[in-house]
Structure 1
Amino acid sequence: MARHLLNTTDEYAEYYGYSESDIATPCNNGNVRAFGQVFLPTLYSIVFILGFIGNALVVCVLFKFHKTSNMTDMCLLNLALSDLLFLISLPFWAHYAALNDWTFGNFMCRSVTFCYMLGFYGSIFFMILMTADRYFVIVHANTSLFSKRRSVKAGVCMCIFMWTLSLLASLPTIKFSQTKNETNGVTCKAEYTDDVWRKVSYIKMNILGWMLPLFVMLYCYGRIIPKLISMKSQRRHKAIRLILILILVFFVSWTPYNVVMFLYFLHYSGYFYSCGWQSGLGLAMQWTETIAFSHCCLNPIIYAFVGQKFRTLVIKTLKQWFPSAFRHCVTITSEMSERRSSMYSMRSSEISTTKIM
């Protein structure tokens, strides 16, 4: 979700070559550019469609049944809103990637960057909040003040606090983002006053976008799993499996991207100046950012749809929206059940006849 801190809001052309201020003769990375102009818009479109459907469904269900909301539901709602905010920016980045030219003006450049960065940090911080909430409720159920004060009012205050943190983390990139006329077209990028700000933005993304949430997940879930194992509930195995999936999905989605981003930090620190490294990093960024982007498509599944309560609400909502489709499904299911029953009866009769004979 965070590519544009490095590329689009920073400079989309960084996929393809150094600026003239970096070296006298820029590298010719036309193959990376051609690949990105086809690959990125296609993948952005797929992520946008799938992610928008899943997260919009989460928001609709939670708003529809808001009377049954709790701290977990509020976290789910804000996580889905964060992902939607991020996803809104993808069509603009897809258009930018396809043309390698920003055609929407300076105001939209900052507005799209605002949606992108706020959505990214919001998603990360609300995942952290959900993890912390589960930790206190399960591990410190009887002693924690947090678990005893999980009221709607406290949840709203926590959500406002997380949105404020997300905005503060996003402000530097939003502030520096602007359009600029260059030889290859108009760019939408962060015009940093010096390389210090650029390097700080990379490290900030590594720390807040990867190290912090991964540390919180490993620590909290590392304490939750032994607690679940000690319980006698039959659902504990399913809960442990879900926790391991949450950690694995986050690690697989975001680790490759953050490794590449750290390599870009080293690049701007004076390492990896060869054209071969530059081309390789450009291609690696295109692949790893797409894997990272897919995480917002998986959030509704791993955080919402796996729960029995939420699945029931989703099915109830879909039945209300598409009654004819569900009636058709029920009819087909009934016919299949009748056929199975009929076939079973016939086989039983044949077996009985055979025994008599």
Structure 2
Amino acid sequence: MDDGYYSSDYESELCVKEDIVHFGATFNPIFFSVVVVLSLLGNILVLMILAKYENLRSLTNAFILNLAVSDLIFTAGLPFWAYYYVYGWNLGEPACKMVSFFFYVGFYSSGILLIMMTAHRYIAVVRPLSQLLSPTGFSSALASSFIWTLSALAATPALVFTKVLNQTHCDYEDDKWRLIGIYQQNILFSVTLLVFCFCYSQILWRLLRTPVRRRRHKTLKLIFTLVVVFFAGWAPYNGVIFVMSLSFGPAATADSAALSNLCQTHSKPLDYAFYITRLIAFAHCCLNPLFYVFVGVKYQNHLKRMLKHWDLGRDRFRSRSSRSSRHTVTSLTSGEEFSV
């Protein structure tokens, strides 16, 4: 796992970072706990709505389903992170590898899904007669297989080269693989940004020239919002980890005064920025379901139907319970209950 403050100067007398460690141990567990609860509730609800009311042969619905699964996979690692920042990593190396792997699978699958969702919407608007829009179950299964295979391959270095360091830190074993992990994230983010800019510039140009159906506008609005949320959450984090990567490698020779000044003016502020931007980025796994509800009118209607169905089911259960209680007779002599 990528930890900003676990650098070579962590234990140096010239750059004591106990305040940063305390900051992480205080805010990370609280924040991650809230994110986990919201993500589980929201994404499981999205899966229930899709399974109950939507056609999963549709590529758009298949993408949204996979995005919810991706968020849940990402969420599965957050309780371990919360534990990590309070007690250090004492859960063993296999757990270290798996939690790191889940983080990267969740990150890469989210980025790949948003690329494919944006490209699919571009084709639907600009090339509406394309065979790629065929709503077959095979297309959805093929796209899903591609997404998860590519995400797992991209996350494999974390599974292989992550180790427990100094009995308390879970991280890559050397700077080379740490840099590869950072630059892979930066590359995916950059590719997603390029696809987003190209596709939506073409889509907006097409919408200005020709009228389209209202339903297509709603789908476009939903996917556009999801992509914007992704960038707002992950752009600051990717910028910070890229700047941090520039400091990896052999430390430059300098006197104690210069090193102490560098710690106060560069290293510590960067570590705080890393913590804050990562908290924002990690919250993305619980935000997507909120936008399904507040932006996607179709999902609002599905949610209302589901809640109404639950209310009716609860009323029927109460009615049956009430009738059953009226038919229950208590023996006056033995005190035993029996139903008639």
State the TM-score, normalizing by the size of structure 1.
0.77
Q: In the alignment, is the contact (CA less than 8 A) between 2:117 and 2:223 conserved in 1?
A: no
1:152 aligned partner, one-letter code: G
Structure 2 counterpart of 1:289: 278
Say which SS state the counterpart of residue 37 (structure 2) adopts: helix
Q: 1:30-69 alignment to 2 at 5 Å?
A: 30-65=18-53, 67=55, 69=57
What is the identity percentage for the equivalent residue pairs of Structure 1 and Structure 2? 36
Question: Superposed, which structure 2 residues align to 1:117-136 within 5 Å?
Answer: 117-136=104-123
Residue 154 of structure 2 corresponds to residue 174 of structure 1: no
How far does residue 308 in structure 1 lie from its aligned partner after superposition? 2.6
Note the C-alpha offset of 1:271: 8.3
| Structure 1 residue 298: Cα displacement | 1.8
Contact 1:17 1:29 in 2 (8 A): no
Q: Does 1:104 align with 2:91?
A: yes
Alignment partner, residue 224 of structure 1: 203
What amino acid sits opposite 1:75 in the alignment? Answer: F
Gaps in structure 1 of 5+ consecutive residues: 8-13, 328-357
In the alignment, which residue of structure 2 is the partner of 1:139? 126
**Which residue of the partner structure matches residue 339 of structure 1?**
none
Comparing 153-162 with 221-230, greater Cα deviation is found at 221-230
Distance in 2 (CA, whole Å) between partners of 1:155 and 1:305 is 26
What amino acid sits opposite 2:305 in the alignment?
K
Q: Which residue of 1 aligns with 2:66?
A: 78
Could you tell me how far apart the structure 2 residues matched to 1:241 and 1:113 are? 33
Q: What amino acid does structure 2 have at the position aligned with 1:138?
A: V
Shift of 1:196: 2.6
2: CA distance between counterparts of 1:55 and 1:326? 26
Is the 8 Å Cα contact of residues 221 and 295 (structure 2) preserved in structure 1?
no
Q: How far has the Cα of 1:173 moved from its partner?
A: 1.2
Instruction: Give the drift of 1:241.
Output: 5.5
AA aligned to 1:146 is: L
Q: CA-to-partner distance for each residue in 1:66-93, whole Å, 9 max, x for gaps?
A: 5564111110100100000000110110
Deviation, 1:257, is 0.7
Query: Displacement of 1:310 after TM fit?
Result: 2.5
- How far did 1:264 drift? 0.9
Q: Could you tell me whether the CA contact under 8 Å between 1:58 and 1:304 is conserved in 2?
A: no
Task: Tell whether the 8 Å contact from 1:176 to 1:191 is kept in structure 2 after alignment.
Answer: yes
Paired residue for 1:187, among 158, 164, 169? Answer: 169
1:23-45 CA-partner distances (Å, limit 9, x unpaired): 97562011111111101111111
* 1:293 to 1:145, Cα distance in 2 relative to 1, 3 A: same
Q: Distance in 2 between matches of 1:50 and 1:257?
A: 21
SS at match of 1:15: coil
What residue in structure 2 maps to residue 267 of structure 1? Answer: 247
Aligned-pair distance for 1:103?
2.7
User: Matches of 1:298 and 1:153 in 2, distance apart?
Assistant: 29
Q: Specify the alignment match of 2:296 in structure 1.
A: 307
Asked if 2 retains the 8 angstrom alpha-carbon contact of 1:139 and 1:227, the reply is yes
Q: Which amino acid aligns with 2:169?
A: T
How many residue pairs get matched?
306
* Equivalences for residues 6-45 of structure 1 within 5 A: 6-7=2-3, 14-15=4-5, 17-18=7-8, 27-45=15-33
CA contact (8 A) 2:218 2:297 kept: no
* Letter aligned with residue 112 of structure 2: F
Q: Which structure's residues are more often helix, by fraction?
A: 1
2:161 corresponds to which letter in structure 1? F
Q: Judge conservation of contact 2:59–2:140 (CA < 8 Å) in 1.
A: yes
